[in-house]
């Protein structure tokens, strides 16, 4: 009886670990980002939130991954893109990168101050 319970428990643990791992296999060459998003959604169930205007700015993606975690696949998708992503539960939220704020050159060290007393 104890052996049966142990085997049943270990089988359940293996099944739950497999569903949480979210392995993705994709091979695309110069594919639109939307097509890659559809394939990731089909394999993982993750929904993507984006606008058509955001995808107009995106470059085509060449991607070959096999049994990779969703974060690795998304990093590869968004590399060299004007977009970033955020994972929230089972959603991938796509955002535009903020423009870099110009930084005015400041002296590395302030000029010395004479102290008298």
Confidence check: pLDDT of 19 > 60: no
Q: Give 17's pLDDT tier (boundaries 50, 70, 90).
A: very low
Contact 88, 64 (CB under 8 A): no
Q: How far is CA 88 from CA 46, 49, 68, 91, in A?
A: 10, 11, 19, 5
Confidence check: pLDDT of 72 > 50: yes
Question: Residue holding tokens 């959603």?
Answer: 91
Instruction: Give the mean pLDDT of 33-47.
Output: 94
The torsion defined by the Cα of 76, 91, 31 and 54, in degrees rounded to 10, comes to -100
Report pLDDT for 66.
94
Confidence check: pLDDT of 74 > 80: yes
Q: Give 12's pLDDT tier (boundaries 50, 70, 90).
A: low
What is the helix (H) or strand (E) element at residue 107, kind and residue range?
none
Domain boundaries, the chain: 21-96
Using a cut of 0.75, tell me whether the model's pTM lies above it.
no
Fold of 21-96: Phage tail protein beta-alpha-beta fold (3.55.50)
The first and second tokens of residue 116, run together, are 């008298």
Instruction: Give the mean pLDDT of 38-61.
Output: 94
Calpha distance 90→68 (Å, rounded): 17
């Amino acid at each position: 009886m104890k052996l049966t319970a142990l085997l049943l428990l270990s089988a359940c643990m293996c099944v739950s670990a497999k569903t949480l791992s979210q392995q993705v296999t994709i091979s695309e060459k110069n594919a639109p980002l939307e097509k890659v998003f559809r394939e990731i959604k089909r394999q993982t169930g993750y929904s993507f939130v984006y606008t058509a205007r955001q995808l107009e700015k995106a470059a085509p993606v060449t991607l070959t991954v096999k049994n990779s975690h969703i974060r690795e696949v998304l990093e590869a998708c968004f590399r060299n893109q004007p977009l970033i992503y955020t994972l929230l539960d089972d959603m991938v939220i796509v955002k535009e990168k903020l423009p870099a704020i110009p930084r005015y050159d400041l002296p590395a060290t302030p000029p010395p101050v004479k102290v008298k007393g």
